[in-house]
């Protein structure tokens, strides 16, 4: 289960909306930039910029209100989680590249000692009809993978305090701790999945929606919403019966705002009256905290004009813009120049 960082990122965000090419580009761009800082180059890319690119944190939403739940990083209960900070740098506006689910440490598991005792007990027991091959504490409660009769395992382990039991289809146990961690995260993903899909249906079409993402390491779903956040969205926050949580995050711009800004960006770049033009554009995506746009420009197009370019683009699209140099990603099997020209 050794995956590239971009694949792991897509896995964490999956299940909300279908990943758009631009969404993949946002994740791959961050990976490429980190690899360049390590002196490594990402050779192949599956991302591509399209004219109607939608680049918002992946959308998924809480299910019915009786299952709404939340985890926050604050010691006191809170309905809104403050977004990671944007600010001013040498070139002007700066913002996070990635969503908070990739950059925010999860809160501690409150009943960790209790869960460990349960996990130790079920793994040390010889069960009739099944065997436990992997069990672990998580933010959604103890999880277990089993061999044998799954129905018996779920009933028996549920009575023992393990609410989430899955069949072992992959030949566990693995030969590395990292492999076990992947399976634990997959189990959390399954627990969160129904909440994500139902929540998306409950909030589809709202203008204030700014995206929803799995926060696997916290056992949570993060609902981002353009402020001020209405009470009915705040009511989604809180713990759910299945152990999942929903976090509500207030952000500056909605998904619709981002899409309109991207369309505006493409339009003004094609007009050719700015410091940079359409041929200089590599990628565009929302900032990780939806505080503006990230715009990748081909190498050599920025030089020492970053602040001037950012301010000019920001005036043109109506929101803050962060620019950086970036090689344009090209989808496998798609000729350069065939995309983003509509």
- Cα 37 from Cα 105, distance rounded (Å): 23
Is 60 exceeded by the pLDDT of residue 29?
A: no
Once rounded to an integer, what is the mean pLDDT over residues 264-288? 96
Is 80 exceeded by the pLDDT of residue 110?
A: yes
pLDDT tens string 125-145: 999 999 999 999 999 999 999
- Two structure tokens written together for 335: 């000729």
Once rounded to an integer, what is the mean pLDDT over residues 98-104? 91
The percent of residues above 70 in pLDDT, for the chain, comes to 68
Distances (CA, A) of 323 to 35, 90, 110, 244, 314: 19, 12, 41, 37, 10
Once rounded to an integer, what is the mean pLDDT over residues 183-202? 88
56-60, 251-255, 306-310, 314-318, range with the lowest pLDDT: 56-60
Once rounded to an integer, what is the mean pLDDT over residues 237-253? 93
Q: Cis peptide leading into 228, omega within 30 of 0?
A: yes
Beta strands at 209-215 and 220-226: parallel, antiparallel or unpaired: antiparallel
- Cα 58 from Cα 45, distance rounded (Å): 19
Mean predicted lDDT score pLDDT of the chain: 77
pLDDT tens string 65-79: 233 333 333 223 334
Alpha helices in 45-127 (DSSP H): 112-124
Say what angle helices 21-37 and 5-13 make with each other, to 10 degrees.
140
- Two structure tokens written together for 212: 């929803």
- Cα 133 from Cα 145, distance rounded (Å): 6
- Cα 71 from Cα 75, distance rounded (Å): 10
Once rounded to an integer, what is the mean pLDDT over residues 274-282? 96
Strands across the sheet containing 321-325? 281-286, 293-297, 321-325
- Cα 23 from Cα 48, distance rounded (Å): 9
The answer, as to whether pTM is greater than 0.85, is no
46-55, 296-305, 327-336, range with the lowest pLDDT: 46-55
| β-bridge mates for residue 222, sequence order | 213, 247
Is 80 exceeded by the pLDDT of residue 96?
A: yes
| Predicted local confidence at residue 70, as pLDDT | 32
């Amino acid at each position: 289960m050794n995956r590239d960082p971009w694949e792991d990122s897509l896995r964490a965000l999956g299940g909300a909306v279908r990943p758009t090419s631009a969404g993949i580009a946002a994740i791959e761009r961050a990976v490429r930039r980190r690899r360049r800082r390590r002196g490594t180059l990402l050779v192949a890319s599956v991302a591509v910029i399209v004219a109607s690119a939608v680049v918002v944190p992946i959308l998924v939403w809480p299910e019915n209100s009786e299952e709404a739940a939340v985890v926050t990083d604050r010691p006191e209960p809170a309905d809104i989680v403050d977004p990671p900070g944007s600010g001013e740098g040498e070139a002007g506006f700066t913002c996070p590249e990635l969503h908070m689910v990739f950059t925010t440490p999860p809160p501690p598991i409150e009943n960790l000692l209790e869960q460990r005792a349960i996990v130790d007990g079920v793994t040390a027991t010889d069960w009739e009809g099944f065997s436990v091959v992997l069990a672990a504490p998580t933010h959604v409660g103890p999880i277990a993978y089993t061999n044998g009769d799954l129905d018996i395992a779920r009933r028996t382990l549920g009575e023992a305090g393990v609410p989430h039991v899955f069949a072992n289809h992959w030949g566990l146990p693995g030969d590395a701790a990292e492999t076990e961690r992947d399976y634990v995260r997959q189990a959390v993903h399954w627990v969160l999945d129904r909440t994500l899909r139902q929540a998306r249906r409950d909030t589809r079409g709202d203008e204030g929606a700014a995206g929803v993402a799995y926060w696997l390491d916290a056992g949570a779903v993060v609902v981002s919403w353009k402020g001020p956040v209405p009470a009915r969205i705040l009511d989604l926050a809180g713990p759910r019966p299945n152990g999942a949580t929903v976090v509500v995050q207030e952000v500056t711009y909605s998904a619709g705002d981002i899409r309109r800004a991207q369309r505006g960006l493409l339009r003004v770049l094609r007009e050719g009256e700015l410091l940079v033009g359409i041929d200089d554009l590599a990628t565009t995506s929302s900032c990780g905290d939806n505080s503006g746009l990230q715009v990748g420009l081909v190498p050599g197009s920025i030089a020492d004009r970053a602040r001037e370019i950012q301010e000019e683009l920001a005036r043109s699209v109506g929101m803050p813009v962060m620019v950086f140099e970036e090689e344009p990603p090209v989808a496998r099997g798609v000729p350069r120049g065939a995309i983003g020209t509509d």
